[in-house]
Structure formats: C-alpha cells, structure tokens
Structure 1
Amino acid sequence: MLPYQLRAVDQELDELLGGLPAISLEGPKGVGKTATAQRRAATVFAMDDATQRELLTADPQRLDRAPAPVLIDEWQREPAVWDFVRRSVDRNPAPARFLLTGSATPTSAPTHSGAGRIVQLRMRPMSIAERALAEPTVSLRKLLTGQRLAVSGSAALSLVDYAEEIVRSGFPAIRQLPPRARRAQLDGYLNRIVERDFPEQGHLVRRPDTLRGWLAAYAAATATTSSYNAILDAATPGETNKPAKTTTTVYRDVLSQLWLLDPVPGWLPSRSAFSRLGAAPKHHLADPALAARLLGVDVPALLDDSAPDTPVRRPGPLLGALFESLVTLSVRVYAQAAEATVHHLRTWDSRHEVDLIIQRADQRIVALEVKLSPSVSDDDVRHLTWLRGQLGDDLLDAAVITTGSEAYRRADGIAVIPLCLLEP
C-alpha cells in the first residue's frame, strides 16, 4: 500500500470536524477521499457493499450507536443515508460525528438538503505542492494578506518536468504507475465514465462515440471560454445528424454530477466600476491528465526534444492550455484552504484578460497570470498592471506563475513565482 501523502484538505477537514457534526467530502473517483476520511473514522459503512447497505437501511439508528466519527463511504449509492445522518445530527449535534464521501451527485436526491447539518467539502486531485516535487516558498494565503512580502526561492523543475506532471495526473494511485500502465489506467477511467458512470446516473448513452467525441472536444477547449455550441461542432465535424442540444446538455450535467468538469467562472466584482466583463466560464476537466489522454498526447507530443539539452514546446497552444489547467488545479486547492474563491477575468471585447482571480470574502483579490516560460517581460504583466490601475488597494497582490527556477518581485512590485514554489 502506498504511504499516505498529506493533502491541503486534511487541515480543512480537521478544522471543520472540530466544530461541525457532519462533513461530506466530495470529488471525482480516485482523488483519495476514502483514504483521507478513513484516517479519522472509528466506524466505516461502505455503501458499495450490498450487505452493509441493507443493514443500515434496515436500522438507521445504528448510526447513533456506532463509535464516532462514522464514515459512510460512497453515500450516493444509498441516498436515503443523507437523511439518516441529518436526523441523527438533529438528535445529537455534537462535533465530529459523521464523515460522508461521495463521487457523484445521487440521481434520487435526499428529501432534505442537509443545510445546517451537513457541510460539503470539495476534494480535488493532488496539487503541485502535494506532489512533493520541490520545497515551496511562497504561500497563497500570505499573498491574500495584501502585505506584499518579499518573494524568494529556487527550484530545479524544468519544462520537461511540468509536461510530465501534466500527463502523470494528480490521482494518487494512477500517478505512481509506470507510463504504459498509467495510460491504460487513465483510458480505463475514461471508459468507465461512458460505460458505467453515465448509466449509474440514470442516462444510457445511445451514441458512445459522440460522448467520447464531446469529451475530447471539451478537452481541446481547455483554458478557453468556447461556447458549448462550438464544443459540439468540434465533437461532430462534418455530421449533419448532430445530437440535439438537450443531449449535450445532459453530457455536461452528468459530467458535473461526477465532479469531472471543473470550469472557472467569470469574475463579476460587486464593488468596482467594471461594467463590461464577460461571464463565460473557462473550461477545465478535473485533472489535466484526463484532457491530455482524451487528446492522445504524451510528453513527446507536447515537447520537441530534437535538442535534448533544451526541449521546447511544440507549435500550438496545447501545452500552454494544459499548463494553465495544472496551475488552475493547484491554485483552486490552495484558495479553498484559504477560504477564497477562484475566477477568471475577461473584458467583453477581450482587450484585457487575467487568468486567475482569487477573491477573499471582502471582495479584495489576488490576480495571477500564467506564463509557459521561465522568464517574464513587461508585455507579460500588462493586464496585471492595467488591473492594478482599475482596482487600487482592492488588488492585494499580483503575480505571474511560470516554469522558471527563481521566485522574485519585479521592480514594479509584481511577483514572479515558479509553479512548484507556490503552496497554500
């Protein structure tokens, strides 16, 4: 068995369990929810085990008698369990009583939302910091203080290393496999979505190739705001008998229920004078390795290694989009730990774009640009400079996330941070 790697969500979970009776840990299959929850559980009910499922549904008050914390794994297999937990919390609201894990939104919803009794916590694939590739030196939480502290640190990761991390994935069990086994496992993961997960969500896929094509088109739209109509057209080139829009809406909805789509919403600030921001989301899958596998690319397809000492990106935007997706995955993990939200900024005329906006509860922000380069020029920070002029003190800090080796602040105060040096 692989040794457990501490995750950012571990600290969040412990803090929440100290005051709340029930936490639902949710995210796609394979992110490590069960392993994380089991470390805290005194009793486990596995809802993918028919016998345990039957025992619990026959005697729901078994939950009151079991030693706490009680873990109910894959609770969506028996949605009534949600209501069992809610009622048990009503009887005894002591903290740290229940942990639920779920890899899908159930097809038959519980009779009650659980508001006030069960708090939901998102778990994503492993961030770069959680992969222990380097010693991080820059904290997103500290950037969010607005103190604009000195930024420093060095790391040895190269462009090749980042390309490798894109295709290795952040799923703990998958990333440890040899390359061929890893590719086979990722293919199996994607096939399961089409062949098993969709039917389990109540949607029989009549045209599997169309769904696979839609997934690949969505992957090709990574880090863009392409419309869903454009994604459908890309998925079905040359076809006159395209699936109805309602069908592709089902694709999107079910994939969201399975936590596999993780789009970044557009930023619509409530306190500033902005009036012409675009609200379309930026498309991202839960893990950029899934996008790479859907598009059939591995490291040799992303990099030109004809000069082994200095591999460079192949022409085209794909590696840049996948690197932005890797950055986005990591930043969302760190932002959640800091109780902040993640957005992107794009003006309606596309004159100004900022890749990631991390917003505190008071609406003040940190702005991040993503640059697939070891160096940063004045042109690379022009959108951040523009945003600083628009927001003044509401812009707590600004940085460019790179593939370089050194973290520092430019003379204009904008930080330059290699991805592997950023942490929660």
Structure 2
Amino acid sequence: MPRYVPRITDGELAAHMEVMGAVLIEGPKACGKTATASQYAHSIIRFDDDQAARSLVALDPAALFAGDPPILFDEWQLEPTIWNRARRQVDDRGEPGLFILTGSATPRDNADTHSGAGRFAVVRMRPMSLVESGHSTGDVSLTALLNGERQTGDGTALEFRELLRRIVVGGWPQLIGKDEAFARTWLRSYLKQVVEVDIPGMGHRRSPGNLKRLLAALARGVGQAVKLSELAKDVGGEAGAVANETLYGYMTALDRLMLTDNSEAWRPHMRSRARLRTAPVRYFVDPSIGVAALDVGTADLLADPRAAGFHFEALAVRDLRIYAQVLGGVVDSWRDSNGNEIDAIVRLRGGQWGAFEIKLNPRDVDVAAASLLRFASIIDGSKHGEPAVLGVITGTGYAGRREDGVHVIPISTLGP
C-alpha cells in the first residue's frame, strides 16, 4: 500500500470530528479524499465498488451503521439516501465523530434530502498544494502575512523548468514521483472519463466533441472573466453557438464534479467611481486540467510565456485557496471598468484581508507592486480596514518585504 502523504485537510478533519457528528469531505475524483478519510475511519463502506453495500441501503440499512465509528461512507452520492440515515443516526446517538462521508460529485438538489446543519461539517478538498507535494518550503506563511508579519525565504531551489512541470503534472496524489509523460497520459484518461462517462452519467446528452471544446475554451481563458456567450460560441464550433441551456448544463456538471473553482468578484466600497465588474474569474480546481485539455506540456509552456503566465496564476490561486481554507478564508478577484484588476483577494471571516498579484516572471514585480499600491489607495479603509498584506507571488527568487511595504513571494516558499 502506498505511503500516506499528510494533507493540510488532516487538521480540519480532526478538528471537526471532535465536535460534529459527521463530516462531509467533498472534492474532485482522485484528489485524495478516501485516503485522508481512511486515516480516521474504523469502518469503511465503499459504494463505488461494493455492490453488497449498495444492496443493503434498501434491504437492511441498519447493517451499514453497525460497524465501529467513525464509519466512512465513500462516494456517498451514489446512494443519496445515506445522507438522511446518517443525519438521523447523529440525532439518535448524540455523539461527535460518528461518520465521514466522501463524494466526488454533488447530487442534484432533492427535497427529500434534509439539511445537515448542526450535524454535518463540510470540508472542501483539492489536489495537493506545492507544500503538500514537497515542492515548496512553506517558509512564507500565509497566516503570518495576514497577521502583518514580515516573511523571508529562498525560492531558488525549484528550477524554472521544474516549476512549469508542476503546472503540467498538477497536485494529484497518484502522480507524486511520476514523470511528465506518465502524468500527461494519466490526465488524458482522467478527462476522457469526465467527458465520456461522468458528465453523460449526470443525464446530459453525450456530446464528447462539445465537452472537449468547452474544456479547451475554459483552459484558454483560465484566469480571465470569460463570458458565457463567448464560451457558447467556442463550444458550438462550426455549427454555431450552443444553446444557453446546453452550456449551463455542461457548466453545472463541471461544477458538480468540482472540477471548476472560480474566483467570485469582490465588491468593496471604493473611493474611485469606476464601476466594479461582477463576473467570476474562471479556473479549474488544478492547473493540470487546463494544460491537459489543451494537450500541452512543459516545452509548450516554455515556448509561450504569456500562456505559461496564466497557467502559473492558476497554480498560485489553487495554493492560496488551500492555505486560506485552513483559516476560514476565501479567495476572490477584483476588477473594475477601467481595466484595473487584482488577481487574488484573500478574505478571512474575522475581517482581515490581503491582496496578491501573480507574476511568473520576477521582472514584472515592480509593475505588480505599483498596481497593488494603487489598488490599496482607492479602497475605503473605513469600511473594510487596511490590507494586512500586499504581495506579489512570483516564479522564483528570494522572499521579503520591499521598502514600499509590498511582499515578494516566490511560489516555492509559500505555505499555510
């Protein structure tokens, strides 16, 4: 059995198990949900490959709850009635840490599925960050940055070509230690399953050509607020734009599979009169999905620095989301009608927030820093407080705080 690689989610899961009756871990297929949940479970029921267990849901559901807790119900969405049964068990037993449910797709809304409020905690899991896969030192802590602390670190250990390879390979646990050729083959198979099995299995008409074009269009527009009307044209190809209903169905399916992970628009009070944009900035849950959809590798990214920059942004946003989640934070975007934009706004529940520009090339740090300072000057601090950190996340170099107060953060130094 492969050695378990500790995940940042471990701490979240353990904390929730101490106080909640059940925990739902959700995330895309193959991101490591089952492996993580199995570290805590005493009994495991796998609905994806155990037909006997699926039969018991109808014939003898009580038998499914007879094992020693915590009981793991893996891929619970295949038998959605298990949600209500687990909820009732939590109510009846009145103890924490009874059940873990994992799922790689959210079921359709169902009026018969009752709220898990007060019984279930929900943990979102993504593919591994660079800290988890061993490609970042974690010397620059996002927590410390948001506490206003100066952070330093050496980000020169991850060579530039290897950094691009991390984009191509992604953070999938099965690909740790694998070479690029293996990873690209694995990812092609992953997307083939999504296109030919997973999305049609959700009730959408089998249209592999349309779905492949949608994935490619999203990949070309990664890190951008691409309009749905533009996506509809790309998906339809020579036949013309697909119907809105068709496109919404595909986009909803990708969201239910948790393969997309968009940044919503942050709309703070501004001193500027510029109108704020409200469209989300589009990302996949892992940068490797985008490059796999385009069938490009490290050599292609080296030959196209502009495209490499967008996919690097997707890598950095993925890691920011993972590190911010531990703090109860979210990652948004900010854009106004004058063309000004900030790549990532990290907001915590307590009100602290920070702004980050993401630039693959360290030569772009000065321009990015000026953009951050200009942005901070037009935020109404009386409404939102001043930013705890302004930072430029870049590809390589040394981490530290500049004289203007902006942090420089090589991605291979960033951690929770």
TM-score, length-scaled by structure 2: 0.94
> Match for 2:350 among 334, 337, 362?
362
1:335 aligns with 2:334: no
Question: C-alpha distance in 1, partners of 2:406/2:374?
Answer: 12
Contact 2:145 2:151 in 1 (8 A): no
Counterparts of 1:4-403 in structure 2 under 5 Å? 4-48=4-48, 49-107=50-108, 109=110, 110-145=112-147, 147-205=148-206, 207-240=207-240, 242-269=241-268, 276-304=275-303, 314-315=304-305, 317-350=306-339, 352-391=340-379, 392=381, 393-403=385-395
* Structure 1 position 106, deviation (Å): 1.6
Distance 1:62 1:90 in 2: 18
Deviation of 1:377 after TM superposition, in Å, equals 4.2
Kept in 1, the 8 Å contact 2:399–2:413? The answer is yes
Q: 1:298 to 1:122 in 2, by over 3 A?
A: same
CA contact (8 A) 1:375 1:402 kept: no
CA distance in 1, matches of 2:270, 2:348: 15
Q: Which residue of 2 aligns with 1:311?
A: none
Tell me, what secondary structure is at the counterpart of 2:167?
helix
Shift of 1:194: 1.4
Question: How far is the alpha carbon of 1:53 from its aligned partner?
Answer: 1.5
Q: Which amino acid aligns with 2:256?
A: Q
RMSD across aligned positions (CA): 1.8
Q: Structure 1 residues 244, 40: CA separation in 2 closer, same or farther (over 3 Å shift)?
A: same
The C-alpha deviation readout for 1:56-79, integer Å capped at 9, x for no partner, is 432333355321101000000000
Deviates more, 1:283-292 or 1:128-137: 128-137
The 8 Å contact of residues 157 and 405 in structure 1, kept in 2 or not, is answered as: no
* Inter-CA distance 154–289: structure 2 relative to 1 (3 Å threshold): closer
**2-side partners of 1:121 and 1:358: how far apart?**
18
User: Which AA in structure 2 matches 1:319?
Assistant: A
Q: Indicate how the Cα distance of structure 1 residues 104 and 274 shifts in structure 2: closer, same or farther if over 3 A, else same.
A: farther
- Indicate the SS of the match to 2:388: strand
Secondary structure of the residue aligned to 1:196 is: helix
Which one-letter code corresponds to 2:252 in the other structure? D
Alpha-carbon distance between aligned partners in 2 of 1:251 and 1:285, rounded to the nearest angstrom: 14
Query: 1:272/1:67 Cα in 2 relative to 1: closer, same or farther (>3 Å)?
Result: farther
Q: Give the partner amino acid of 2:20.
A: L
1:421 aligns with 2:410: no
2: CA distance, partners of 1:378 / 1:260: 34
**How high is the TM-score relative to the length of structure 1?**
0.92
SS in 2 for 1:53: helix
Unmatched tracts of structure 1, length 5 or more: 305-313
Judge conservation of contact 2:76–2:103 (CA < 8 Å) in 1: yes
* Alpha-carbon contact 2:155-2:412 (below 8 Å) kept: no
Number of aligned residues = 409
Other structure's SS at 2:83 match: helix
Q: CA deviation at 1:208?
A: 1.7
The 1-side partners of 2:76 and 2:199 are apart by: 17
Contact map agreement 1:106 1:201 (CA 8 A) in 2? no
Distance in 2 of aligned mates of 1:273 and 1:118:
41
Runs of 4+ displaced beyond 6 Å: none
Supply the distance in 2 between the matched residues of 1:274 and 1:102 (Cα, whole angstroms): 44
Write the letter of the residue equivalent to 2:219.
Answer: A
Q: State the AA in 2 paired with 1:218.
A: L
Rounded Cα–Cα distance in structure 1 between residues aligned with 2:233 and 2:199: 22
Distance 2:365 2:330 in 1: 28
* Residue deviations 1:152-203 (CA, integer Å, cap 9, x gap): 3343112211110001111110344333332221111111111111132122
Whichever residue aligns with residue 423 of structure 1, its letter is G
Look up the SS of the partner of 1:173 in the other structure.
Answer: helix
Change (3 A) 1:108 1:335: closer
Distance 1:254 1:191, change over 3 A: same
